[in-house]
Amino acid sequence: RRARAEANSTQQIIASSQAKIESALSQMEGNKDRMKQLEEEAERLRSEQIKAVAERDQFEKLLKEHQKTLPGLEEAREKTQREFEEMRGSLDLARKAAAEAHRSYSQKSSRLDVLRQLVESGEGLEKGTQAVLKGLNDPDLIKPGLSGLLGAQLKAPDEYAVAIESALSQFLQAIIVRDEDLADSIIDRLVDGKKGSAAILPESFLPVAEGSQIEALPEGAAAWALDVVTVDSKFAGLMERLLSRVLIVPDRNTALKLRKDYPDLSFVTRNGEMLTPEGVIRGGSSGGEDSSLLKRRNEIEALFIEVKKLANEEKVAEQEILDCETRTKELREELEQAKDRLQRHRVEDSTFQGQLKLAKREADTIESKVANNKWEREELGSREKTATDSRSALENELTRARERLTALEEDARKFSVRVEEAIKRENEAREQLSEARTALAVEKQARDSAAREQDPMSRRIRELAELNERRKSEISAARERITKGDGENEALDAEMESYRGEVASLKDELSHADEQRKGFARGIEEAEAGFSEVRSKQNKVLNQISKEEVACTKLDLRLENLVESTMERHQVDLAHFRPDAHILITCINDRKEAEKKGRSRKIFEVQSKVDGEEVADEEAEVIAKTHSDEEADEEAVIEILEGEGPDWVFVEAIVADLKRRLDSMGPVNLDAIEEFDELEERHNFTRNQHDDLVNSKEKLLEIIERINIESERLFAETFHAVSKNFKSMFKRLFGDKATADLILQDESDPLECGIEVIAKPPGKKLQSISLMSGGERSMTAVALLFSIYMVKPSPFCVLDELDAPLDESNIGRFLKVLDAFIDQSQFIIVTHSKRTMQRADVMYGVTMEEFGVSKPVGMRLTNGVEKSGDAKSAAQKAALRLDS
């Protein structure tokens, strides 16, 4: 083995030496070629280096010149950016101003509409006055004679409006009519219809102004009532009589002081308090500013002017927005252009920088290549010298290795025989070892399989033991349920015995009803049989009618097709066509003459030049030519008429030839007219739909407006009623010292705004319901609930643990209030309170005898002496229905 290894090593040395020698020879040849290439490359690199340095210097110069213009572009972009931001800020301000103007306009306009609606609806006027203004039962007769209210003819400053209304009092609602006859008729109608009372002022009764003497204003007084009133001259005399002796004073104390010196005057304060010459003092709280007719009229006039002004301001603001948007759009475009210019400049700058870097890198690369070229040439010279020396050494080593290899080959032949015998023994031992390992693996696999089967069997035994325990417990529970079920079965058997008699009677009734049903069914079948015969006859008649209609329709379509075909091909309406034998024979004669003289080709050429000209036009031209020569052909026509008649064979040939020529002209767009008709029909349909939608939109807007007006009116009435009931109900629950109120969060929009509940229990400050305790909130909710019930009762009401946060005293108050409503409503209360349960007529409890199974249990609570006929409340009646 050592000899073989040494021989192999020697062979490797020989091969390695030979390879090294060959490598050295090839390397020497390659070095010579490489040296030649390096010299050529060095010459080329020197020229490239000169060019790269020149290009680098050029890019550096261009970059410096380009960077000088960058600050100017950045400054222009920043300036445009500032102008754009300023204009956008101006646009935002303009939009805010426009929104504010629109909001103010909407508020004032809404207020103006509400006031106008109040005036039109007669809000604040007496019932009789409103009835007269509406025309009573005959508006066509009454309304033309009305000139409006006396209060509508007056004007007074807001500071004196209340005083003037108090001084005029009932005269302010006087209705001015045409004459006394109409006034008398109106009074009679009010009396007969019981529609209230009204003050009527005929125009003929108006006094003439006499001119009152101007008196000095007493010290401490505010003004004479007549001086602050502006009225038409027609009513000046009436105002003199009503207000000439009325003095407006600041307050009641001033009136009392001045009465001593002026006992014959009437005094009225700015708050509307009145002191008459007779000594009567009239005063108190009024219905608020909205009830003042004069203030309402002044407010309408002021709002009209303000709404008009706000509308102009809104238009100006919208125009300013349009101007700002236009300027903003222009500045945005200028900014984008400036950004684009700056971006392009930066891109060009980056391009120049990149090109400069590439030029520098190229110059550095070429310089590096020159240095590498020089180093590589020097390295090749040194390697060539080293390769020559190593070649001589390798040749000597190769000779020694060959001699050693010859000796080793001889030794190897001697050991080869012994090696073969050892290899044979080794193979036999390996076969025995393999068989033993196989047997061992089989035994191990059998042992592992037994162990794997043992674990599942153990787990299965444990599972069966646990299952056995569970089955035992289930068996014991089932036995208990069976015992319990036997008892229930006995009770059910007893109950079934009691129902069997009822079942027998019900079966008899059912059999009787079934016999009646069968009789009715037989009658229905007989009627249906007769009806089927009539229907079959009707169907036959209808089928025959349908067939005749189809045949008639086919004939109509065929006739219509013939008429249309004649109209399309020959431009002749058959309904107005009148045959003329003279013209027909003349045309035939002219056609024959034309064929004889060879003029047919010329006629075809003329006809082909006319785009879309029909055959009838050509025939008309021929007829015209024939009439021009009528005298010459008259004798020939007479001869033909006296003969056998027209040559129909010749006519058929001419017609066939004309059809062929028409067909050769190619297809004509005959659908253009139909398409136009369809488009026109579609256009008209779309336009009608658009007009219909516009009209529907206007009608819907009108309906929405009427609904909003009616909804606001109904809501206002209901809200005032509920608020009044809430105040009284809150005092009823909390005591006479308690106060509460319902407040709209936005009175200008009552349908959309929220309602805030303000309450003040005894001993506490006025606060919102959200700051109250749980019991107080519950009692307040009860007050609000029953306040709504007083306005609109409900047949039943469900209360879920409403009394949970209440103490005993509050539960008593709650039950006391509840008693007042049980006659008209049925209350279903979920509660845990004993006192509430005691008050119930019917009580239901929910129990769970078995886990997961709920069962309701009902109980009617009545006195022992009560009878079924004594039930009066809704709950008691419901209880009686349950019992029955």
DSSP 32-93: HHHHHHHHHHHHHHHHHHHHHHHHHHHHHHHHHHHHHSHHHHHHHHHHHHHHHHHHHHHHHH
What pLDDT shows up at residue 15? 67
CB of 224 closer than 8 Å to CB of 248: yes
What pLDDT shows up at residue 122? 60
**pLDDT tens digits, one per residue of 758-779:** 888 887 776 667 777 778 888 8
CB of 387 closer than 8 Å to CB of 24: yes
Over 60: is that where the pLDDT of 410 sits? yes
User: Could you tell me the pLDDT band of residue 404, with boundaries at 50, 70 and 90?
Assistant: low
Q: Which two tokens stand for residue 582?
A: 């003279």
| Gyration radius of the chain over CA positions | 61
The more confidently predicted of residues 577 and 780 is: 780
Q: Which two tokens stand for residue 694?
A: 């516009």
User: 742 forms bridges with which residues in the sheet?
Assistant: 757
d(CA 746, CA 110): 13
* Secondary structure element (H or E) that encloses residue 237, with its range: helix 236-243
135 Ramachandran zone, left/alpha/beta (phi>0; psi -120 to 50): left
Q: Hey, what's the torsion of the CAs at 227, 233, 239, 245, to 10 degrees?
A: 50
Over 60: is that where the pLDDT of 290 sits? no
What pLDDT shows up at residue 451? 66
How many Cα atoms within 13 Å fall on the side-chain side of residue 658?
Answer: 18
Q: 416-455 burial by CB neighbour count: b if 16+ within 10 A, else e?
A: eeeeeeeeeeeeeeeeeeeeeeeeeeeeeeeeeeeeeeee
Please tell us whether the domain made up of 124-291 is placed in CATH 3.40.50.300. Answer: no
The more confidently predicted of residues 349 and 796 is: 796
Over 50: is that where the pLDDT of 519 sits? yes
pTM: 0.32
- How would you class 128 by CB atoms within 10 Å of its CB: exposed for 0-12, middle for 13-18, buried for 19 or more? buried
Domain boundaries, the chain: 124-291, 578-668, 721-883
Over 50: is that where the pLDDT of 846 sits? yes
What pLDDT shows up at residue 554? 79
Pairing of strands 796-800, 826-830: parallel
Longest dimension (CA), the chain: 172
CATH architecture, range 721-883: 3-Layer(aba) Sandwich (3.40)
d(CA 627, CA 12): 130
What pLDDT shows up at residue 572? 67
What average pLDDT does range 629-643 have in this prediction?
43
**pLDDT tens digits, one per residue of 415-472:** 666 666 666 766 676 666 666 666 676 667 666 666 666 666 777 677 777 777 877 7
User: Could you tell me the pLDDT band of residue 875, with boundaries at 50, 70 and 90?
Assistant: low
N-to-C CA span, the chain: 121
Over 70: is that where the pLDDT of 609 sits? no
* Secondary structure element (H or E) that encloses residue 756, with its range: strand 755-760
d(CA 410, CA 503): 128
What average pLDDT does range 796-817 have in this prediction?
86
CB of 190 closer than 8 Å to CB of 133: no
Over 50: is that where the pLDDT of 281 sits? yes
What average pLDDT does range 290-314 have in this prediction?
75
What average pLDDT does range 526-553 have in this prediction?
78
The more confidently predicted of residues 456 and 164 is: 164
The more confidently predicted of residues 214 and 206 is: 206
Over 60: is that where the pLDDT of 872 sits? no
